[in-house]
A and B are shown apart, each in its own frame.
Chain A
Amino acid sequence: EVQLVESGGGLVQPGGSLRLSCAASGFTFSSYWMHWVRQAPGKGLVWVSRINSDGSSTSYADSVKGRFTISRDNAKNTLYLQMNSLRAEDTAVYYCAREYTAMATWGQGTLVTVSS
């Protein structure tokens, strides 16, 4: 079964850092582009970042560029999102998603709350 499981969310103060992880199973992780998408409470979906299959190419939404870094470890079948200089407006559920005919597989999400 194809599965994505996010972890690493929690409460962090403004200006702080957090690293999210997304553990993949049931498919050849190293063959797929991967994404992070977030959803603030009661709001819509917002694309955050994308990484290609071997990690050599990344892209970011303007709202997180320079603060967030996407990476992957294909040996560990894991996707990461390093989030620095966090702001209140970064509060959201963060989903990882596999790109295959659009975003065909999603994790259950992990909640990040930025608050003092």
Chain B
Amino acid sequence: EIVLTQSPATLSLSPGERATLSCGASQSVSSSYLAWYQQKPGLAPRLLIYDASSRATGIPDRFSGSGSGTDFTLTISRLEPEDFAVYYCQQYGSSSYTFGQGTKLEIK
């Protein structure tokens, strides 16, 4: 099973700042099958990025993904108030679709 480790656990930033979230895999993720999700309290997760760098439908271009192999990054270029939430990475390149433990992005 591929283990995903997200860092940092909590990120405190202000609106307008740039956010960089990391996701490390215990082994190479096949074909960059890595996704990022945003989750707000009481709501289901929302897909932001798939295949490591492709934005899902309707996702603003301030969200971008990069990386390959075992190291992946989600970048939010300029934080909006609605971006403060929990973010999860997920790999879907193996038969076991593991998630990272999440990064909480909070307002500083």
Which residues on A are within 8 Å of B, measured CB to CB? 35, 37, 44-47, 50, 59, 61-62, 95, 99, 101-104, 106-109
Contact = CB atoms under 8 A, between A and B. Distances in A.
For the complex of A and B, 3 pairs with smallest distance between CB atoms: A102-B35, A106-B44, A102-B50
Nearest to B35: A102
Interface of B: 1, 33, 35, 37, 39, 44-47, 50-51, 54, 56-57, 88, 90, 92, 95-102
Which of A62, A95, A103, A106 has most chain B Cβ within 10 Å? A103
Contacts of B90: 45, 47, 102-103
Contacts, number: 58
Contacts of B95: 50, 59
Nearest to A105: B47
Nearest to B95: A59
A44 B99 CA distance: 8
The SS class assigned to the A binding surface is strand
A108 B39 CA distance: 12
Nearest to A57: B95
B75 to A, nearest CB: 18
A15 B43 CA distance: 29
25 contacts: A44-B99, A44-B100, A44-B102, A45-B37, A47-B90, A47-B97, A47-B98, A47-B99, A59-B95, A95-B44, A95-B45, A101-B47, A101-B51, A101-B54, A101-B56, A102-B56, A102-B92, A103-B35, A103-B37, A103-B47, A104-B47, A106-B45, A106-B46, A108-B44, A109-B44
Contacts of B35: 102-103
B98 to A, nearest CB: 6
